[in-house]
Structure 1
Amino acid sequence: MNYNKLGKSELNVSQLSLGCMSLGTDKDKAKTIMDSALDKGINYLDTADLYDHGRNEEIVGEAIKHKRQDIILATKVGNHLKDDGTWFWDPSKAYIKQQVKNSLRRLQTDYIDLYQLHGGTIDDPIDETIEAFEDLVQEGIIRYYGISSIRPNVIREYVRKSNITSVMMQYSIFDRRPEEEVLDLLAENNINVVTRGTLAKGMLSGKASTKIATKAEDGYLDHSKTDLQHAVNKLGDLLTESQTLNGLAIAYVLANNPVSSVVAGASSIDQLNDNIHALSQQFSSEQLEKVKEIVRQNTYTQHR
């Protein structure tokens, strides 16, 4: 396992991270997956207060409490959970400073390595939100903070006004939108990216054709169902016998500065092992460039 520094922080994160949302609510099964991930060199776990209404944080906290010092723990805030199970968006300073205490309790820890705003719009009280995160850093409750967003206008505001360490964003061969205007901006400001959706709902995996048939009836972003299947066929032609499509998908995003880590979920040990095997594969620069010829550059059309 290789590790990359996250922005200007002291955090060195594994190139493959474990997205905990898909672990489920069986705590023994989830602990087995997390233990296996850590044994294989993954040191970055990503959760959120919203996942299973806080239950995911509880399961993660229980699993890691005796090895907390070996883990870079990331969680998210901003979705205000109500007692009836619904939620509303709340990036206020008061809510963030209240909710971090609940996350700490559920996670059974006294600090969070990376606290992320779980979304955000340009109409948020951004200065107030930043002030909340800065206060928590000064208080030693969080080490660093970032945002989880695909909105260029929001990202630009945080780059300009805050000390974010990272941006978590959707980025894949089928979603190349970050390449157009976001990646260079972040690299210039020494802010790193952790990706989600890199396997595009499984459409960039060994089950690509099945996933396209079941999850892309109306296409995916600006790619039609036919486009997706044609691209998968052409991408397959690039691979050698020892390479896989999910390996290419992971290698492609990691090759782009400033991506530090791919956050991939796993609901089973087999899925975890598939992701780790994919990470271990080597691809030439020529193969990665060919990807750009096969799958067109798409662009953000909203949040300008």
Structure 2
Amino acid sequence: MKMNQLGKSDIYVSELTLGCMSLGQDKNKAKEIISTALAQGINHLDTADLYDFGLNEEIIGEIIKDRRQDVILTTKAGNHFSKETKDWFWDPSKEYIMQAAKESLKRLQTDYIDFFMLHGGTMEDPIDETIEAMEELKKAGLIRAYGISSIRPNVIDAYVRKSSIDGVMLQYSLLDRRPEESVLKQLDDNNISAIARGPLAKGMLSTYYKENITKKAAKGFLDYNQTELLQTVENIAALSEGMPMNELALKYVLQHPAVTTITFGASTIEQVIENTKVDLTTGLSEEMYEKLKEQTKRNIYEQHRV
């Protein structure tokens, strides 16, 4: 699998990233999923301290402790949570970010985090303070690089201007083209990696799109109603020239030069295999790329605009 540089850092991640939120709490099953992903060429695992209130990190740490050198590890912080009461509140303060990083290191059984992300963000945050925490963690060698996970253009813009982030995780797919309006260009212009999540749009761009649109989109998705969704994806399928829907959806997202890696979740080995068997060695033709754009809406961010 192709490896791409993460921003301006010395980190190289696989074009596909395993999102670990859906691993579950069965350690043996989680180990099978992660082992399959690594065997398929994935080197990048994405988690967060909030997933299962720290348990997700603990499970991953136990699984990879003997092969830490084979893995690029991303985790996130900013949701100040209690494992006992199972509740949390937003806290991007320097004090909490520093504390959260050290607690994640313990749960992950590692001396360093490759990529550390703020798990959200608003314009009301003490952004300079958050950046200061990230820079100090980096200087101390506890993290190698940092970034943010956000779908708010104004927050992304603030971090691009004020910090040395190397990546931004954002939602991006054929059905959610909002980042194309300006965010992706801004990231590309500043040599910051886009880490795309949701490329299959809750399975509505997968092999099982009819079933998923029926089950999950009764109220629509973004600015599509359910009828429009089904018609749009049917039109996409008609353009596919026999290419599996998963492959088409992943290739569309990777076609943008700002996108470094695509994060997909998996709760079964089969889901890992289905996505990693996709041939990503070649992209879409320019003709197909443009036709896909013609069939989908050019969504824009309605809120949090710059």
- TM-score between both structures, scaled by the size of structure 1: 0.98
Equivalent residue, structure 2, for 1:155: 156
Question: 1:250 touches 1:279 (CA, 8 Å); kept in 2?
Answer: no
Name the SS of the counterpart of 1:157 in structure 2.
Answer: helix
1:77 is aligned to 2:87 = no
Equivalent residue, structure 2, for 1:278: 278
Equivalent residue, structure 1, for 2:186: 185
CA-CA distance at 1:278 after TM superposition: 2.7
Equivalent residue, structure 2, for 1:170: 171
Q: Write out per-residue CA displacement over residues 190-210 of structure 1, whole angstroms, 9 at most, x where no aligned residue.
A: 001111111100000011011
Question: 2:251 touches 2:280 (CA, 8 Å); kept in 1?
Answer: no
CA-CA distance at 1:23 after TM superposition: 0.7
Structure 1 gap segments, 5+ residues each: none
Name the SS of the counterpart of 1:227 in structure 2.
Answer: helix
Name the SS of the counterpart of 2:237 in structure 1.
Answer: helix
CA-CA distance at 1:284 after TM superposition: 2.0
CA-CA distance at 1:279 after TM superposition: 4.5
Question: 1:247 touches 1:281 (CA, 8 Å); kept in 2?
Answer: no
1:47-126 alignment, distance < 5 Å: 47-82=47-82, 83-126=84-127
Which segment is superposed worse, 232-241 or 146-155?
232-241
- Give the AA of the match of 2:167: S
Cα distance in 2 for partners of 1:229, 1:48 equals 33
Q: Write out per-residue CA displacement over residues 8-45 of structure 1, whole angstroms, 9 at most, x where no aligned residue.
A: 01111100110000111100010011011111110000
Cα distance in 2 for partners of 1:279, 1:264 equals 16
Equivalent residue, structure 1, for 2:141: 140
Name the SS of the counterpart of 2:206 in structure 1.
Answer: coil
Identity over aligned pairs, percent: 56
Question: 1:16 touches 1:279 (CA, 8 Å); kept in 2?
Answer: no
Name the SS of the counterpart of 1:212 in structure 2.
Answer: helix
Using a 3 Å threshold, how does the CA distance of structure 1 residues 44 and 300 change in structure 2: closer, same or farther?
same
Q: Write out per-residue CA displacement over residues 158-217 of structure 1, whole angstroms, 9 at most, x where no aligned residue.
A: 000000000000000000000001011111110011111111000000110111111111
Equivalent residue, structure 1, for 2:253: 253
Question: 1:46 touches 1:75 (CA, 8 Å); kept in 2?
Answer: yes
CA-CA distance at 1:76 after TM superposition: 0.1
Q: Write out per-residue CA displacement over residues 115-148 of structure 1, whole angstroms, 9 at most, x where no aligned residue.
A: 0000000000000000000000010000000000
Equivalent residue, structure 2, for 1:38: 38
- TM-score between both structures, scaled by the size of structure 2: 0.97
Q: Write out per-residue CA displacement over residues 20-78 of structure 1, whole angstroms, 9 at most, x where no aligned residue.
A: 00111100010011011111110000000000111100111111101101111000000
1:289 is aligned to 2:293 = no
Cα distance in 1 for partners of 2:124, 2:246 equals 37
Question: 1:203 touches 1:209 (CA, 8 Å); kept in 2?
Answer: yes
Cα distance in 2 for partners of 1:248, 1:57 equals 32
Cα distance in 1 for partners of 2:163, 2:46 equals 22
Cα distance in 1 for partners of 2:131, 2:246 equals 36
Cα distance in 2 for partners of 1:269, 1:240 equals 27
Cα distance in 2 for partners of 1:272, 1:240 equals 24
Structure 2 gap segments, 5+ residues each: none
The CA RMSD measured in Å over matched residues stands at 0.9
